[in-house]
Structure 1
């Protein structure tokens, strides 16, 4: 692919961009309702019902504290993604057939999510399996989705287009969370038990994901970029991708910074409900309301930070958001138990920086990708995106397993933002864009 692929009639390009936004609308409900709100506390309760007298479950004979099972399952999902994403990314670039691969990954993930309706009793292993499949599929699909950005938007549009995509996703998450909140709080009125209401909310996210994926599949176009070649096995392909990145060390330096700080972001997203329910003693309705607040403010935050990037540049805006993340997470350590108001204050702080930090990271990385290798490079980028990162959840789970304190676990995540800030501050992004063979925007 060359930069010519984003030229053409503005009307056609806008139509394709609108179709691209709708994949965020489709899949963000999974990230919000399933990963962030319901599955963590619910799967933890299922694991606890299957635990022995000491509070341990034994998947494959390995003793695991029930409270750590969800975090370990999230971590395991990225191991699967590591094997699959580089293969799919390289195949997408070499054949130009991203759209059918996007559809396949999306519908595998949607089906696994819909299958969570059957997660009841002590079926924690079923829950862990469905979580791993759904997360890995989501990771593959998001990698392909993100790799469209350089193809559908010229450099000067990418911050805005990326931010709108995130805003679409958070708007969908807010809409569905309102419906979830009504169903959950009034489950007796609908003739459902609390457990059944949660399982309906989980399954409905899968149905939403599958239904709205039809829109981008109709509007996005495949672009043939390189001749077909044999695809190496997963780890070999990942090694080949990283080896190619060594020819663009500044791109690799940005990716390293992103993998570190985004690992912290994704761990906060995936573990916040567990922290709220298990450490702070908050009810499910409070957690849903807090996440709904995050979604609403994230729409405004993503659009506002997109505007800030036009004035101050994407890099400076991201660095400012990492400072805000560090302060917010540190404050979270001191939240009093049983105090919903302060949890809502924390949620507001997260919401204001969440969408923008992710949207601008995506658009900035798109400038650093050599032409013709979008999906392959975004496969490495996606390894740490949207709750699929492994180091943060693993650290969170191990810290809780060793200390029995979710406060210590949440505080351990501060290191990701401090280290990520330091690494990103050292990347000369204008030179990195030029070295990747792309035009340098006036402000970046």
Structure 2
């Protein structure tokens, strides 16, 4: 039997996975690892050039393109992973495997130091692939455990749990970093221990989610497990092209997500390299962003309840455009903190509302949720690849990261053109095309 929809215990189990894996997003991709990476690879004598498998490359460009590689690999794997899960009926099993690979790779970053940059980058990429792959299965659970009118609320709840959990662990790790001398360890070791705690946290709390999520999916398919994933993506593509609202949303999402995700992944490097923010200020700012993001996720959810989803997303994208403009001229001090607060406020809201809006726009009479969310996931990943690669390329060509902000602003403006063509509603009741 399918899971009982809107069951509080099942919903809480689903939200717990956001609590479990969001520590990766905050500690590894946002707060401590970028700072640690920059410190390990910084070398004024070589103008911050590092040796990577025999090739000399800027540490900032290497980091940007490493993020691109994470999501390029994940985008390739996504349809195959989804296909295997669908055709075997083992969605939860593959979600577990992705969780275990990602958490183990995070723990492995404990061994990353200046003498093994290649190892650090490879572990970073593997952790990202595990994280992204697990989200394919995680997101596809939402239509199976909740009714459409609850998507916004539950999606926002999941993101909120994720922010709270990730902030809690970050505070613990920051205390270790702050008092490392009293503890009797080096600052470098304190940072490395934080990577280990991320792996343990992700693994342990993931077990709670796995215990509470249903094993039975709505349908188990028959066919070639390894090749039908691409066929499923093609099928969803054909359906999406026949549904004007879904098509417009996906195009708009691709462009604004390029900007949102690039800012999220590369802002710490920008702050260190361009604005020259001190380490303590940077980490405190990241903590501020996470706290403000909790309020932002709920605020944009409230806006969507009054105006409908597409208008709320348009308001969010407009704020992102102002963020890009502000970042171009921002200086250390009050203006930097105001900019950071703006990013935090709109960051969580746009992510949460994007997932909920897509859930509403897919046909309500489909049982093939995993394939639709695989398509969404691939779109998400390819937009991150495009955004972070473009960011690194523009910096590589011009030598000035501020020029990258102009490109990001253009991405947001393009997305508005498509979002404005979507009626703003609470429920779309989309049907499969004939």
Q: Contact (CA 8 Å) 1:93, 1:375: kept in 2 or not? A: yes
Identify the residue that residue 343 of structure 2 maps to in structure 1: 350
Aligned runs of 1:86-165 on 2, under 5 Å? 86-165=79-158
Gaps of at least 5 residues in structure 1 are: 439-444
Greater CA deviation, 87-96 or 151-160? 87-96
SS of the residue 2:286 aligns to: helix
The structural deviation recorded for 1:294 is 0.9
SS of the residue 1:164 aligns to: helix
Identify the residue that residue 249 of structure 2 maps to in structure 1: 254
Cα 1:55/1:38, change in 2 over 3 Å:
same
SS of the residue 2:384 aligns to: coil
Greater CA deviation, 55-64 or 77-86? 55-64
SS of the residue 1:246 aligns to: helix
Say yes or no: does 1:16 pair with 2:27. no
Aligned runs of 1:235-384 on 2, under 5 Å? 238-239=233-234, 241-336=236-331, 339-370=332-363, 371-383=366-378
Identify the residue that residue 34 of structure 2 maps to in structure 1: 40
Cα 1:235/1:402, change in 2 over 3 Å:
farther
Identify the residue that residue 389 of structure 1 maps to in structure 2: 384
CA distance in structure 2 between the partners assigned to 1:365 and 1:341 by the alignment: 37
The structural deviation recorded for 1:116 is 0.4
The structural deviation recorded for 1:244 is 4.8
Question: Of the candidates 5, 27, 30, which is equivalent to residue 24 of structure 2?
Answer: 30
Structure 1, residues 318-339: CA drift from partner, whole Å, max 9, x if none? 1101111111121011111xx2
The structural deviation recorded for 1:6 is 6.3
The structural deviation recorded for 1:304 is 1.9
Cα 1:430/1:313, change in 2 over 3 Å:
closer
Identify the residue that residue 228 of structure 1 maps to in structure 2: 222
CA distance in structure 2 between the partners assigned to 1:53 and 1:38 by the alignment: 24
SS of the residue 1:57 aligns to: strand
Structure 1, residues 226-267: CA drift from partner, whole Å, max 9, x if none? 323213446666445434543445323312211221121111
Identify the residue that residue 204 of structure 1 maps to in structure 2: 197
TM-score normalized by the length of structure 1? 0.90
Q: Contact (CA 8 Å) 1:298, 1:355: kept in 2 or not? A: yes
Identify the residue that residue 70 of structure 1 maps to in structure 2: 63
CA distance in structure 1 between the partners assigned to 2:238 and 2:50 by the alignment: 40
Greater CA deviation, 228-237 or 403-412? 228-237
Q: Contact (CA 8 Å) 1:106, 1:213: kept in 2 or not? A: yes
CA distance in structure 1 between the partners assigned to 2:381 and 2:16 by the alignment: 17
Greater CA deviation, 236-245 or 111-120? 236-245
Identify the residue that residue 187 of structure 2 maps to in structure 1: 194
Cα 1:33/1:431, change in 2 over 3 Å:
closer
Cα 1:122/1:405, change in 2 over 3 Å:
farther
The structural deviation recorded for 1:389 is 1.4
Structure 1, residues 95-150: CA drift from partner, whole Å, max 9, x if none? 33211111110110000011100001232111111111111111111111111111
Cα 1:27/1:359, change in 2 over 3 Å:
same
TM-score normalized by the length of structure 2? 0.92
Identify the residue that residue 417 of structure 2 maps to in structure 1: 422
Greater CA deviation, 419-428 or 319-328? 419-428
Structure 1, residues 19-42: CA drift from partner, whole Å, max 9, x if none? 000000011111011101122232
The structural deviation recorded for 1:278 is 1.4
Gaps of at least 5 residues in structure 2 are: none
Identify the residue that residue 74 of structure 2 maps to in structure 1: 81
Q: What is the aligned length?
A: 429
RMSD: 2.5
Q: Contact (CA 8 Å) 2:309, 2:424: kept in 1 or not? A: no
Cα 1:189/1:124, change in 2 over 3 Å:
same
Q: Contact (CA 8 Å) 1:335, 1:343: kept in 2 or not? A: yes
Cα 1:160/1:435, change in 2 over 3 Å:
closer
Q: Contact (CA 8 Å) 2:3, 2:214: kept in 1 or not? A: no
Cα 1:405/1:279, change in 2 over 3 Å:
same
SS of the residue 1:189 aligns to: helix
Cα 1:349/1:54, change in 2 over 3 Å:
closer
